[in-house]
Amino acid sequence: MLRENAEIISNDNIGAELFSMRVKSSAIARNWRPGQFVHILPPVNTGKPPMLRRPISILASQNDEFEFIYRVAGEGTSLISQMKPSDTLDIIGPLGNGFDNIPDSQGLHILIGGGVGAPPMIALARLLHEKKLDVEFYQGAKDASDLILNNEMENSEFKYHVTTEDGSIGHKGLVIDILPENTKQIAAVYACGPIGMMKAILKWRDNAGFPYFVSIENKMACGIGVCLGCSAPTVDGKYIRTCIDGPVFNADILDWEKI
Ligand SMILES: Cc1cc2nc3c(=O)[nH]c(=O)nc-3n(C[C@H](O)[C@H](O)[C@H](O)COP(=O)(O)OP(=O)(O)OC[C@H]3O[C@@H](n4cnc5c(N)ncnc54)[C@H](O)[C@@H]3O)c2cc1C
Ligand code: FES
């Protein structure tokens, strides 16, 4: 992990509220794993107190540059969206535990990304595909403009399914509606997105024995394990920190009633 003032290479509007940013940082670009994130300090307007950093998942890297995709959700991401190439981005990263303990068993690896939960799933899909595992990807979004890298995913070598809430692309409805009924071939399931989606996946898995890994997008302050602002409840009555114990967890250790 390091703190860096890194050069922005590009910051492009790629959907109604979606932006893709590429940043020059060899330390991050050469040392991240899917599921890890960067903690970004939005640029501060003169006279205003500094804002807290905002966590965003790393999507990809090439040579000395890495990329992330973000949705403008509020003031922090709005300020980030106004930054220009060659501006300096104050970042800490790569942070958190990514998808480090992937079962490399044969069978189907099902990845599910909802909304801006898709980028870490796309990064993981590429890694699993490189490892020659059988990947099936499900992406759910509000509408066509909210889908992330849809064209690229459609042209990828793994099976890809889309749902949009308004039916503008793919199946109309929620991603949970189209998950397979037959779960016998499944080696593992991985998901990132709204809590409701991740809970519904837990219910869909029911008593099937395959492991289920989630990446949780809790609100964060420090991002480095100090403030406890990102705590998540566990089934044994304790709390774990999303920023350094996660954001990737085995879903079975979390207390979903309290999340
Ligand atoms: C590990 C991690 C990875 C993430 N990866 C991505 C990513 O790849 N792309 C992306 O667009 N977003 C991602 N997020 C969510 C992103 O951090 C928030 O959307 C962002 O911090 C909002 O900041 P803001 O100042 O623009 O909005 P705020 O003004 O802080 O909030 C605006 C709205 O967004 C909600 N919100 C704020 N923080 C979060 C959060 N952490 N999760 C969900 N909703 C939130 C608020 O409740 C509010 O409704 C990630 C979050 C985490 C914890
Ligand atoms: S955000 Fe401070 S401990 Fe996790």
**pLDDT tens digits along 18-63:** 999 999 999 999 999 999 999 999 997 666 767 899 999 999 999 9
* Domain boundaries defined on the chain: 8-95, 108-217
Q: What is the pLDDT of residue 47?
A: 63
Q: What is the pLDDT of residue 100?
A: 86
Q: What is the pLDDT of residue 105?
A: 78
Counting from 1 in the atom list of ligand 2, the atom nearest the Cα of 220 is 1
Counting from 1 in the atom list of ligand 2, the atom nearest the Cα of 221 is 1
pLDDT tens digits, residue range 198-252? Answer: 999 999 998 888 999 999 999 999 999 999 999 999 999 999 999 999 999 999 9
Q: Is 76 in the pocket of ligand 1 (CB under 6 A)?
A: yes
Q: Is 68 in the pocket of ligand 1 (CB under 6 A)?
A: yes
Q: What is the pLDDT of residue 209?
A: 86
Residues 62 and 9 sit within 8 Å (Cβ to Cβ): no
Q: Residue 7 — pLDDT band, cuts 50, 70, 90?
A: very high
pLDDT tens digits, residue range 147-204? Answer: 999 999 999 989 999 999 999 999 999 999 999 998 889 999 999 999 999 999 999 9
Identical fold for domains 8-95 and 108-217, yes or no, is no
Q: Is 205 in the pocket of ligand 1 (CB under 6 A)?
A: no
Q: Is 53 in the pocket of ligand 2 (CB under 6 A)?
A: no
pLDDT tens digits, residue range 44-56? Answer: 766 676 789 999 9
Q: Is 26 in the pocket of ligand 1 (CB under 6 A)?
A: no
Q: Which residues contact 161 (CB under 8 A, 6 or more apart)?
A: 136, 137, 138, 139, 170, 171, 175, 178
Ligand 2 centroid–CA 31 distance in Å is 21
CATH dotted code for 8-95: 2.40.30.10
CATH dotted code for 108-217: 3.40.50.80
Ligand 1 centroid–CA 104 distance in Å is 31
Counting from 1 in the atom list of ligand 2, the atom nearest the Cα of 244 is 4
Ligand nearest the Cα atom of residue 219:
1
Counting from 1 in the atom list of ligand 1, the atom nearest the Cα of 59 is 8
Does the reported pTM lie above 0.85? yes
Give the separation between CA 193 and CA 172, rounded to whole angstroms: 18
